[in-house]
Structure 1
Amino acid sequence: MSCHILSYAIISIILTNPATRIGAAIAQNLASKGASLILNYTSDSSASQTFTLAQEIETQHVVTCLYIQVDIGFPTGPALLADTARNVFLSKSMPRFQDFEIKDFEWMYRINVLGPLLLIQAALPYLPNDRSGRIVNLSSISSSEGFVGQSVYGGTKAALEAMTRTWARELAERCTVNAINPGPVRTDMWARMPMEHRGGLKPWTSHSPLAAVREGLDDEEIFNQKEFVGGRPAYPGEVAGIVGMLCSDDASWCTGQVVCANGGMRMAI
């Protein structure tokens, strides 16, 4: 089992006339999938409907929903929307601790710490009694590497690792309990990550043994960025394979561990 959320991996969606039925339906659907939104409306008559919709979305879903009145028929309108999305969302991608608000802290701990705990409680009646069960929590090297801007996110992952060790003892007759700690992974979040953020990973990526880029094996984009980024991220299948290993019978003597899933970026005894 795993529970994972990417710190401020917010998808900015700009909707024209969200107060219409189609726009409202799209906004609700995307919010239910975890996307934060910027709702754009044009006319004064749509203001109250858009405000109400934004309030409903933020009440029903753990997302940010902003609303702004601009006319996209003039050059200043799209520019203002793009600037708003950048300033609100991209600037939050690596928030320093002094920028965190209590609601941000509570949201992240609720998902990354309370969520896994509630999931284990719900699964407890169905766990086997012969140690054949498997629980694999998805942590992160952020729990140990002290990345700038990840005091809260890294703290949630450290808490999850602590719970992993406790559950390994408490559930010893039912299942093994381990965690994995990926570093950068080539997901949609990686695709959206600004190049300056990728370059900031170079001190870690460049000393990860398995992050060395392989000409002819890794794709052209990764190859072309190797000097700037310092290496490559993991492919999702590489992380999934480690989870599969921990779920197999061969891992029956492994419990309470945080298993490397980061190409050697983090080596721990």
Structure 2
Amino acid sequence: MSRPLQGKLAIVTGASRGIGAAIAKNLASKGCNLVINYTSSSSTELANSLAEDFSKAYNIQAVAVQADIGTPNGPSALIAAARDHFSSSSPTDKPFQIDILINNAGVARNALLENVTVADFEETYRVNVLGPLLLVQAAQRYLPTDRSGRIVNISSVSSSTGFVTQSVYGGTKAALEAMTRTWARELAERATVNAVNPGPVEGPMYASNSPEFLEGIRGWIMHTPLMKAREGVDSEEVVQEAREHGGRMARTAEIAGVVGMLCSDEAGWCTGQVVCANGGMVMLH
């Protein structure tokens, strides 16, 4: 088995389920040690189970750490917990280093313009924008000094598509992409910094969308090259899913594959980019 990330350490936020868990698995399969971050106590058992499973399956070190990225002290607490755990398990002559940082944790509060509340605005921006900013701040001193570090921010097609009801969510993802470009310049001697912008992906976040929202994006789905299900090629489950949702959703592993690529040595000449992982729903230039 190829282990190109052998001995490296990655922190993945919102990693107890969905895209975050798939990213953690992808990195673990390549030999990367992991900090699996989660927010709610209800996810403790699941996050610990993933850490144990990945450790056994891929012969790595993995630890689950509860920290709310959307609070002022959550990001620094996450970095401190990672440092404490991996410093104690590493040789004393090897300084603690964060090689990969994945800003995946996020929330969505969809509402028409007239129904947007200050509370929803503040919570969404705290988790989706302030959280990644504070986390990168806390991690900065521990990034590599040879440009080998990798930071990947999970954005969304919503940053550029203007979907109805996503004034706030789309705005947070646009902000995250703007910060991606700034960090790519400011951290150039430490790490590459890129964003990935999924479209519809299997999982609870997409399943929570209202019928009205799904109807509103139907036209986008119909014109997305890779969302067309193919009878006789795709599984019956995928074909049926496409009938119900208007098109084939991405698998979390497919998004994780793009993120994993950006974390590789081969991606060292790619920085400040929004890399499309949405089946062609958005094609940036």
The answer to whether residue 205 in structure 2 is matched with residue 189 in structure 1 is yes
Residue aligned with 1:118, SS: helix
TM-score norm. by structure 2 comes to 0.61
1:238 to 254, 262, 277: 254
Partner amino acid, structure 1, of 2:259: V
Q: Contact 1:199 / 1:228 at 8 angstroms: preserved in 2? A: no
Residue aligned with 2:226, SS: helix
Q: Contact 1:138 / 1:181 at 8 angstroms: preserved in 2? A: yes
Question: CA offsets per residue over residues 64-98 of structure 1, 9 Å max, x none?
Answer: xxxxxxxxxxxxxxxxxxxxxxxxxxxx9631121
Distance 1:224 1:195, change over 3 A: farther
Q: Contact 1:177 / 1:255 at 8 angstroms: preserved in 2? A: yes
Structure 2 unaligned blocks of 5 or more: 1-10, 16-39, 46-67, 71-107
Distance 1:30 1:4, change over 3 A: closer
CA distance in 2, matches of 1:142, 1:2: 22
Deviation at 1:202, TM superposition (A): 1.6
Deviation at 1:215, TM superposition (A): 2.2
Distance 1:265 1:152, change over 3 A: same
Q: Contact 2:155 / 2:195 at 8 angstroms: preserved in 1? A: yes
Deviation at 1:193, TM superposition (A): 4.1
Q: Contact 1:31 / 1:61 at 8 angstroms: preserved in 2? A: no
The aligned residue for residue 148 of structure 1 is 164
The aligned residue for residue 212 of structure 1 is 228
Q: Contact 1:201 / 1:229 at 8 angstroms: preserved in 2? A: no
The answer to whether residue 161 in structure 2 is matched with residue 121 in structure 1 is no
Q: Contact 2:192 / 2:271 at 8 angstroms: preserved in 1? A: yes
CA distance in 1, matches of 2:169, 2:145: 34
CA distance in 2, matches of 1:3, 1:164: 16
Deviation at 1:187, TM superposition (A): 1.1
Residue aligned with 1:253, SS: coil
The answer to whether residue 195 in structure 2 is matched with residue 200 in structure 1 is no
CA distance in 2, matches of 1:154, 1:32: 29
Q: Contact 1:199 / 1:229 at 8 angstroms: preserved in 2? A: no
The answer to whether residue 176 in structure 2 is matched with residue 160 in structure 1 is yes
CA distance in 1, matches of 2:156, 2:185: 22
Deviation at 1:175, TM superposition (A): 0.5
Residue aligned with 2:172, SS: helix
CA distance in 2, matches of 1:110, 1:120: 14
The aligned residue for residue 137 of structure 1 is 153
Deviation at 1:225, TM superposition (A): 4.7
Q: Contact 2:192 / 2:268 at 8 angstroms: preserved in 1? A: yes
The aligned residue for residue 185 of structure 2 is 169
Larger Rg: 1
Q: Contact 2:109 / 2:120 at 8 angstroms: preserved in 1? A: no
Question: CA offsets per residue over residues 117-141 of structure 1, 9 Å max, x none?
Answer: 0110111111011100000000001
Deviation at 1:224, TM superposition (A): 2.6
Q: How does 1:1-269 map to 2 (within 5 A)?
A: 29-30=41-42, 94-195=110-211, 197-227=213-243, 229-269=245-285
Distance 1:173 1:188, change over 3 A: same
Distance 1:213 1:187, change over 3 A: same
Distance 1:120 1:93, change over 3 A: closer
Count of aligned pairs: 192
Q: Contact 1:214 / 1:223 at 8 angstroms: preserved in 2? A: yes
Partner amino acid, structure 2, of 1:226: A
Could you say what the CA RMSD is over the residues aligned between the two structures, in angstroms? 2.8
Q: Contact 2:261 / 2:267 at 8 angstroms: preserved in 1? A: yes
Distance 1:175 1:155, change over 3 A: same
Q: Contact 1:4 / 1:139 at 8 angstroms: preserved in 2? A: no
Percent identity of equivalent pairs: 58
Distance 1:136 1:210, change over 3 A: same
